[in-house]
Amino acid sequence: MPAKLLILGGTGEASALARIVAEAGLDAVFSYAGRVDRPREQPVPVRVGGFGGEDGLARFLRSQAISHVVDATHPFAAGMSTNAVAACEATGVPLIALTRPPWSAGPRDQWTHVPHIAAAVDALAGVPRRVFLAVGRMHLAAFAALSQHRYLLRLVDRPEALPLPGAGVVIDRGPFSVESDRALLQQHRIELVVSKNAGGDGARSKIDAARQLGLPVLMIDRPVIPARDEARTPAQVMEWLAHSGVNLGV
Ligand SMILES: NC(=O)c1ccc[n+]([C@@H]2O[C@H](COP(=O)([O-])OP(=O)(O)OC[C@H]3O[C@@H](n4cnc5c(N)ncnc54)[C@H](OP(=O)(O)O)[C@@H]3O)[C@@H](O)[C@H]2O)c1
């Protein structure tokens, strides 16, 4: 069977892999969940939207004759990643995840760790503060009960309605720099940063900016995902493909 990759995307790493896969002339399809209005263009065919759970993904793998799956979703996309493990097990399609190590606190960081979003909400109870809430649009509603805070949000698309009335909104999809994030935090007189432990460079600048300004960070730890093979770089994914018998033409 000729190789045909499914790249589960939505991250910078997924886009980097798609470029390398296209340059190698491999057949691939890139999948977006469909959360943003204008997803980045890709050099391979793109499909958009959920598969319909693990059974839907298994059907997709069979019907599209997918030979390998690369899960390059965000570390907090635990539902998709869990489904990928189950569907690949059910179909016998080899799976690898393209992952990034989590951030870890240095001596000048003031982090409080919480295990999930609900715990972050609990930790925010109390006196009003000016909070940079960097948790993504999907999770904002969880913070609506804590209306005493003045929130600053940074979103990819301008939302039609927000569950946090009165929140300041910056529309920007990055890339961000430490300098511009420091200026943003200062301009809005932010007292606390709430962040997922995304890892990688793409979302790191706000954490570095918080350290430079001596601001505390409420750090939401990663969800647990079932064990799977992991690669740290697109090059390692290509090595894994070569070891799995895919002809890369080199
Ligand atoms: N969570 C974050 O903080 C974050 C940050 C940056 C980017 N992203 C990206 O945004 C997307 C959604 O993240 P999430 O946290 O909402 O994921 P999630 O909770 O794990 O996914 C929920 C459902 O959305 C669908 N889905 C997710 N990723 C998909 C993909 N790449 N292609 C097709 N369907 C997908 C699947 O639906 P079905 O069950 O119907 O298949 C999945 O079960 C992911 O692709 C992720 O890489 C997420």
- The DSSP string of 118-137 is HHHHHHT-SS--EEEEES-G
Q: What is the pLDDT of residues 130-164, one digit of tens each?
A: 999 999 998 999 999 999 999 999 998 888 889 99
Predicted pLDDT of residue 250:
58
Q: What is the pLDDT of residues 6-35, one digit of tens each?
A: 999 999 999 999 999 999 999 999 999 999
Q: What is the pLDDT of residues 76-88, one digit of tens each?
A: 999 999 999 999 9
CA 33 to centroid of ligand 1, rounded, Å: 5
CA 180 to centroid of ligand 1, rounded, Å: 28
- By alpha-carbon position, which residue is closest to atom 14 of ligand 1? 77
* Residue burial 72-85, b: 16+ Cβ < 10 Å; e: rest: bbbbbbeebbbbbb
- Cβ of residue 76 lying under 6 Å from some atom of ligand 1: yes
- By alpha-carbon position, which residue is closest to atom 9 of ligand 1? 10
Predicted pLDDT of residue 108:
96
CA 77 to centroid of ligand 1, rounded, Å: 5
Where would I find the beta strands (DSSP E) of the chain? 4-8, 27-32, 46-48, 68-71, 95-98, 110-114, 130-134, 150-155, 168-171, 192-196, 216-220, 229-231
- Cβ of residue 121 lying under 6 Å from some atom of ligand 1: no
- By alpha-carbon position, which residue is closest to atom 35 of ligand 1? 33
Tell me how long the chain is: 250
